[in-house]
Amino acid sequence: MNKYHKLRAEYLKKGYSIHRNVIPNNIVKEIQRHIQFLAKRFPETRPESFHHDLLVEDPFIHHILDQKSVQEISKFYLGPNISLFGAHYIAKKPYDGKPVGWHQDGSYWPLIPMNVISIWIAGTHSKANNGCMRILPGTQNKKLLKQSEMMEEDMEKFVLGLAIHPDQINDSEAIDIELNPGDVSIHNPFLVHGSNPNNSKDWRIGLTLRYIPTSTFVNRKKWDCVLLNGKASKGINNRYVKKPLFKTNKHMKFIGFENYLN
């Protein structure tokens, strides 16, 4: 039996699964270093907000996308023709990391159909005391809320500007998704989840990669995707970036950066 069958069964039942020891330690260390690099390069941007536009043409992110272990998982869940729709670091500083209100990822995304998985890579320990992701198991079977059905939140205090109202949430059923560095969690776009602030002395770094089959259309103008495996689907006019070139004045050096020089 494929080692992922049990985990996919859990994903289908609960809306999430956890894959242990996916990312090797040398890349975990470089993820940590990448956050510090980006923080210096973009000092006005909080590390919870290193979004897709900053990452999609970064050779280091493509280096992670090229890891065989990550490709293997994504193909098992989505099939052979896959692209990256979004990349996002949610890195919470010690004593200062913002919380993420309860939400369903799909509420924010212009995907037709909503066929997508989120692969959440732990770049540090992600525990209850430093603001790990919390989920409500089974809520992937609920309807997807529209943004108009959500409440506004102060983005000075929260990572997201919209969230599900607490009256609609029974958080007594919430569980903490605790991960070690290099572990990966996968969650469904309908799953209700969020996270608490980081009040600990340690960083909590997570890199979220949003994968779609190439048959899913990103209904947003000038949005860049990355074709990862297989081929683009005919009639689905997603825009794909080329392999980025490493530039010393723009990018962090990492093991393997030479593969992005030409």
Per-domain boundaries in the chain: 5-260
pLDDT band at 1 (very low <50, low <70, confident <90, very high): very low
Q: Give just the sign of the alpha carbon dihedral 242, 246, 251, 254.
A: positive
- The string of pLDDT tens digits covering residues 105-126 is 999 999 999 999 999 999 999 9
Please report which helix (H) or strand (E) contains residue 60, including its range. helix 59-65
Check residue 142 and give its pLDDT.
87
Distance CA 172, CA 192 (A): 13
Q: Is the pLDDT of residue 28 over 70?
A: yes
Q: What is the pLDDT of residue 262?
A: 80
Task: Kindly indicate whether the domain formed by 5-260 is annotated with CATH number 2.130.10.30.
Answer: no
pLDDT tens digit sequence for 143-187: 888 889 888 888 888 888 899 998 888 888 899 999 999 999 999
Sign of CA dihedral 211, 17, 51, 194: positive
- Other CB atoms within a 10 A radius of the CB of residue 149 amount to 13
Alpha-carbon distance 151 to 166, whole Å? 9
Q: 51-90, pLDDT tens digit by residue?
A: 999 999 999 999 999 999 999 999 999 999 999 999 999 9
Q: Average model confidence (pLDDT) for the chain?
A: 94
pLDDT at 90: 94
